[in-house]
Amino acid sequence: MEETYDVIVVGGGQSGLAVGYHLRKTDLKYLILDRETLSGGSWQHYWQSLRLFSPASFSSLPGTLMLGGADYYPSRDETLEYLRMYEKKYKLNVQRSVTVEAVARERNLYRLVTNQGTFWSKTVVSATGSFAKPFIPEISGMENFEGEILHSAAYQKPAPFKDKQVVIVGEGNSGAQILAEVSQYARTTWLTAKAPSFLPDEVDGRVLFDRASALYEAKKQGKNFQPPSLGDIVMVPSVKEARARGALKAKPAIAHFEKNGVVLKNGEFVAAEMVIFCTGFRPALDHLKPLNILEKDGRVHTENTKAEKIAGLWLVGYGSWTGFASATLIGVGRSARQTVEEIRQYVSSR
């Protein structure tokens, strides 16, 4: 049989690196498999002007703070540089470019089938995130639309949209930020399923994390505490600028597509050459299908990060269902630490 590891981490983005940071402090034999050619995970694919809406000190993985302090909001490229430095600094055992195609259970071990051969491990941590699985809702008439439909995952910069009629769908932060810059180049229409809800100008990711932390601690103590909602969209500089131009006006969602545009739920027709869906992502867990543990919503039932229906499998970084704030740079460290401790106990008990 090929070499057997104590733990293999699938995914070398921020979640995989956080798990690797804690694994390196154990005597566990580990390997991180990453499908990307370069380090940095999905950050290298986000749109070019993206900036974090949490300051640097609130956007760091365990062990090393991102440069900039409490009042600086890093760019996409600065975040990417930080992740690459982090991996190098801690000499994490990452192998690229390895795409894990299937994870199966065999002879009381996990067999990972990849484009680079087969790997064996006593335990597996899935840390693939969701960027590889963008979600576009099915809307009638899409097949008849003669324009271009894309997801925010494929968006990079606004210049290619110059002078075009562009519809942007989605009431979250990505929809507002992409609208803000595309509207400087194109004739844009913003469509949302519900009215956009804007946070006060002074509220950023730091405040949101503090409020979420208070809610998390209250739930742990069995207290009934629900902070009032402040809104959804963080007023980063580009969104403030768009507000000043009057570009943040939203219309109802799409009822159906037509050849040269869309008809809204209020009956209005909007001409469109391009439609950008900023409608989120789903967990990228297709590699776990052979285990027969995926639920109808594409998730896995977990207790914190540990899979409930099969031993030796953990999932890190997919959102609140895998640990408090686990899909954020600052939040994933807590999930990663607990996960590695559970793995250490599991392996030693065997």
Interval 172-217: pLDDT, tens: 999 999 999 999 999 999 999 999 988 888 777 666 566 666 656 6
Q: pLDDT digit string (tens) for 280-298?
A: 999 999 999 999 999 999 9
State the pTM of this model.
0.90
- Residue scoring higher pLDDT (324 or 15): 15
For domain 4-133+281-349, give the fold: FAD/NAD(P)-binding domain (3.50.50)
Residue 56 contacts by C-beta under 8 Å, 6 or more apart in sequence?
65, 66, 67, 68, 69, 70, 72, 73, 74
State how far the alpha carbon of 276 is from the alpha carbons of 100, 136, 182, in Å.
29, 10, 10
Q: pLDDT digit string (tens) for 63-106?
A: 999 998 888 889 999 999 999 999 999 999 999 999 999 999 99
Nearest CA to 102 out of 93, 94, 112 is that of 112
CA atoms of 5 and 120, how far apart (whole Å)? 6
Residue 112 contacts by C-beta under 8 Å, 6 or more apart in sequence?
8, 10, 33, 100, 102, 103, 118, 119, 120, 121, 124
Return the pLDDT at 218. 59
Task: Pinpoint the residues of the chain covered by CATH 3.50.50.60.
Answer: 4-133+281-349, 142-198+233-277
CATH of 142-198+233-277, one of 3.50.50.60, 3.90.1150.10, 3.40.50.300, 2.60.40.1250: 3.50.50.60
| pLDDT cut 70: percent of the chain above it | 92
Return the pLDDT at 292. 96
What confidence tier does 54 reach under pLDDT thresholds 50, 70, 90? confident
